Structure 1
Amino acid sequence: MKKNYRKIIIVALLLINCIGLSKVCSAEITNNLTSNNIESKDRLEKIKEKGVLTILTSDLAPFAFIDTKTNQPTGIDIDIMNVIAKELGVSKVEMKVAPFPDLLEKLNTDDNIDVAASGIIITEKRKELVAFTDPLYKESEAIIVPKVSRINFKEDLKNAVVGAQSGSVYMDLAEKWKKEGKVKDVVIFESIPELLSAISVKKIDAGITDSIIGEYLLVKENLYLKILQPYSQEAPAIIGIGVRKSDVNLLNAMNKKIDDMKKDKTINKILEKYGLSDKYLY
């Protein structure tokens, strides 16, 4: 009798454990299914629904900046995005601003941002963070020096203190040159205006920046600076617009319009508007 009683207790305990485990397993499966079934609305659908395409930039001319006369976003990348927005059926382009080194991280973490566009050079490292559109245009580095300077050739940089913008590919190039003994030292600045100001007041001997920025700002701002010539460029680059890797439909729609803009020479006209020649066409 005792043996049978023990058997009954053991069987009962086993049944209780099985029921408990069954509930746990069942809960896990239900949670997984719920999680998988929650689908966020497609980015392209969101943009069309709100009627606004929000672009994150570093507020840097001539790529993307606020026109002081109209108080409206303008610039090469903004003009390109305006054309793309119309193709998407969107009537308004909105610009938000963040420091250049933070653009791609903020794009991935702020759901209110749709794309990042601020003369962003496509690199393998950046492609780990976001997807890029097809190339829009190309550029390279430029060496900026005071109009009256002891630096007349690239070789003269060996004894020079050189500046570059934080987070830019030209910061990486400047630091590479320092390791190779091609420049004396490197100073990093948070923005291009700070960099150009430091060159103007001779806090540093020269600066490395985008050739497009060099050509545009030196003419528009009438700065007492110049681009070092002759100079053999080392870092040719291509510019694209950053998109979240998950926003595939948006990326495809943008690339389709970018291809059209290259064929009908819309991008040529936009570059020309900002005083840039066909040498920047990709």
Structure 2
Amino acid sequence: MKKIFTLIMIIGLIVIIRGDTGSSEITITNIAPEKDRLQIIKEKGLLTFASANGTPFVYIDTETNKLSGIDADILAEITKRLGINKIERKEIQFADLLNQLTTDDSIDLAADGIYITPEREEIVSFTQPIYKESEVVIVPKASKINFKDDLKNAVVGAVRGTKFVDLIQEWKKNNLVKDVMIFEDTPKLLNDLNNGKIDAGVSDATLIEYSLKSKGFFLKTLRDYTPELNRTAGIAVKKSDVTLLNALNEKINEMKADGTLYAILVDNGLNKNDMILN
């Protein structure tokens, strides 16, 4: 009886196995390996990156109508060395850059004076640092605010999505400022500060130096302020794009070694203090 039962079970299994396919033959299909992002970029001859629209990092030069700025020039040199013929930019609010990078497959990377921080590294991967950055405090030229301690009764602003928002909110928490205001972009921040709608602002040192030099603002920076956010900036890529990240780092190393990166920084108003040697 046991032998008969076992035989019946075996026959049943064979019927079940053959019942779905009608055949015991196994068909093997060759599946082409998925192309990585760097390969796709090279085949298209086009790299697409996300940035906000702002000097001095990424902007359109009104005289030449060309993409210009610190990060734009660095990317242009990198793509040339990678044999990529064209760069295309998607303009996105700074606060949304990294989220858009991770969710929009048409964007290859993001670059716009983006500070490398542990929180951001949980979302994206960064290249090695390409230059140094820090913040400044801006006030109207006629302001009586001369030191950080003078901010205790001040309304201070910063741009949404930047680390400066975290900084001034920490100041408010510790009663170092009266209140904070969050802005969508730097021009709005500077305009409201210039028009007396807020008392002070905190922003990127390089950006502010460029803005105050080229615009009709009656603003100044606090000379005796010691930066609290000495950071480095890098290029952000999706965490899955390891090959692209490695290629970017290789070219950045080359540019550091032959002096090209330093020359780009100097051409854009930075100096040796902003350079990262290793």
Q: TM-score, normalised by structure 1?
A: 0.87
Amino acid at match of 1:236: N
Identity %: 48
Residue in structure 1 matching 2:211, options 217, 224, 246: 217
Residue in structure 2 matching 1:108, options 102, 105, 109: 102
Q: Which blocks of at least 5 consecutive residues in structure 1 are unaligned?
A: 25-29
Q: Which residue of 2 aligns with 1:82?
A: 76
Matched residues, number: 268
Residue in structure 2 matching 1:185, options 176, 179, 188: 179
Residue in structure 2 matching 1:171, options 165, 168, 177: 165
Alpha-carbon separation, structure 1, partners of 2:111 and 2:37: 17
Judging changes above 3 Å, is the alpha-carbon distance between structure 1 residues 159 and 41 closer, same or farther for their aligned structure 2 residues? Answer: same
Amino acid at match of 2:271: S
Alpha-carbon separation, structure 2, partners of 1:162 and 1:222: 21
Q: Deviations over 1:192-239 (max 9, x none)?
A: 111111101011000010111111111122421111111111110100
Residue in structure 2 matching 1:194, options 179, 188, 197: 188
1:70 offset after TM fit, Å? 2.4
Alpha-carbon separation, structure 1, partners of 2:198 and 2:125: 36
1:238 aligns with 2:232: yes
Q: Which residue of 2 aligns with 1:207?
A: 201
1:138 aligns with 2:132: yes
1:109 offset after TM fit, Å? 1.4
Q: TM-score, normalised by structure 2?
A: 0.88
Q: Which residue of 2 aligns with 1:162?
A: 156
Alpha-carbon separation, structure 1, partners of 2:12 and 2:99: 50
Q: Considering fraction of residues, name the structure with more helix.
A: 1
Amino acid at match of 2:126: F
1:23 offset after TM fit, Å? 7.9
Q: Are the aligned partners of 1:54 and 1:95 in contact in 2 as well (CA < 8 Å)? A: yes
Amino acid at match of 2:252: I
Judging changes above 3 Å, is the alpha-carbon distance between structure 1 residues 68 and 20 closer, same or farther for their aligned structure 2 residues? Answer: farther
Amino acid at match of 2:129: P
Q: Are the aligned partners of 1:216 and 1:274 in contact in 2 as well (CA < 8 Å)? A: no
Judging changes above 3 Å, is the alpha-carbon distance between structure 1 residues 261 and 17 closer, same or farther for their aligned structure 2 residues? Answer: same
Judging changes above 3 Å, is the alpha-carbon distance between structure 1 residues 214 and 20 closer, same or farther for their aligned structure 2 residues? Answer: farther
Alpha-carbon separation, structure 2, partners of 1:191 and 1:67: 19
Q: Deviations over 1:130-183 (max 9, x none)?
A: 100000001111101111101111110111000001010011001011101111
Q: Deviations over 1:107-141 (max 9, x none)?
A: 11111111100110000010011100000001111
Moved more, 213-222 or 110-119: 213-222
- SS at the partner of 1:138? strand
Amino acid at match of 1:217: S
Residue in structure 2 matching 1:117, options 111, 118, 123: 111
Q: Are the aligned partners of 1:73 and 1:94 in contact in 2 as well (CA < 8 Å)? A: no
Amino acid at match of 2:76: N
- SS at the partner of 1:150? coil
Residue in structure 2 matching 1:95, options 71, 89, 110: 89
- SS at the partner of 2:252? helix
Alpha-carbon separation, structure 2, partners of 1:145 and 1:21: 78
Q: Which residue of 2 aligns with 1:68?
A: 62
Amino acid at match of 1:79: D
CA RMSD of aligned residues (A): 2.5
Q: Which residue of 2 aligns with 1:229?
A: 223
After TM superposition, the structure 1 = structure 2 runs for residues 33-48 of structure 1, keeping only pairs within 5 Å, are 39-48=33-42
Alpha-carbon separation, structure 2, partners of 1:58 and 1:280: 21
Alpha-carbon separation, structure 2, partners of 1:120 and 1:65: 15
- SS at the partner of 1:229? coil
Alpha-carbon separation, structure 2, partners of 1:23 and 1:170: 66
Alpha-carbon separation, structure 1, partners of 2:10 and 2:164: 68
Judging changes above 3 Å, is the alpha-carbon distance between structure 1 residues 85 and 23 closer, same or farther for their aligned structure 2 residues? Answer: farther
Amino acid at match of 1:227: T
1:277 offset after TM fit, Å? 2.1
